[in-house]
Amino acid sequence: MQIIITGGGGFLGQKLASALLNSSLAFNELLLVDLKMPARLSDAPRVRCLEADLTQPGVLENVITANTSVVYHLAAIVSSHAEDDFDLGWKVNLDLTRQLLEACRRQPQKIRFVFSSSLAVYGGTLPECVTDTTALTPRSSYGAQKAACELLVNDYTRKGYVDGLALRLPTICVRPGKPNRAASSFVSAIIREPLQGETTVCPVSESLWLWISSPATVIHN
């Protein structure tokens, strides 16, 4: 049994990998795939790290195989980056997701496909209580890409090609290190930087409501 994490070199991917290794789940290999991989988990038992661009032709054929049981698809171009580079956002966030689903579909076994969506699928005025049936109203390219991918995962699951699940993740804080190009990176920055004696700017109103969660809670759930 093989488990794959795309975006396995990222903050959340590394947290998920550690949690899986410490769990009672039986698997032979945990394959972490990213453009660049940190060395932290590279020597752990059952872990294989692969530095690769999954959007390049021929790569996926050597990643998803008849031994693959579960795919956690975390790899993405984050929100502000996807807004600034329209073509790259759609290439990675939508096209790659479709290619991964197709690679899973070609296998003889039904693969569990867990897609990391985002609260960015919602925008504008929302009801006080947002549920699974609340209409998706993205106001950004990133949100539109995530919403489109949710529909893809749903349809591939309906057809029986994969056992799919889309999880709409909240803003995760506090993230260590330097800010990334996510629109919500300020949420970590307004906590992280003052603790390090650095100044930072809060770009939103104090009255803005945010849905946030710790990394540990997201991984546990």
C-beta of residue 36 within 8 angstroms of C-beta of residue 103: no
CA–CA dist 115, 101 (Å, integer): 10
Q: Which residues pair with 29 in a beta bridge?
A: 2
Beta carbons within 8 Å of 46's beta carbon, 6+ residues apart: 21, 27, 28, 29, 30
Strands (DSSP E) along 39-161, which ranges?
A: 47-51, 68-73, 111-118
DSSP type of residue 94:
I
- Backbone dihedral region of 177: left (phi > 0), alpha (psi from -120 to 50 degrees) or beta? left
C-beta of residue 107 within 8 angstroms of C-beta of residue 41: no
Q: Please say if 122 is a catalytic residue.
A: no
Q: Which residues pair with 170 in a beta bridge?
A: none
Helix/strand/coil for 2 = strand
Catalytic site residues? 142
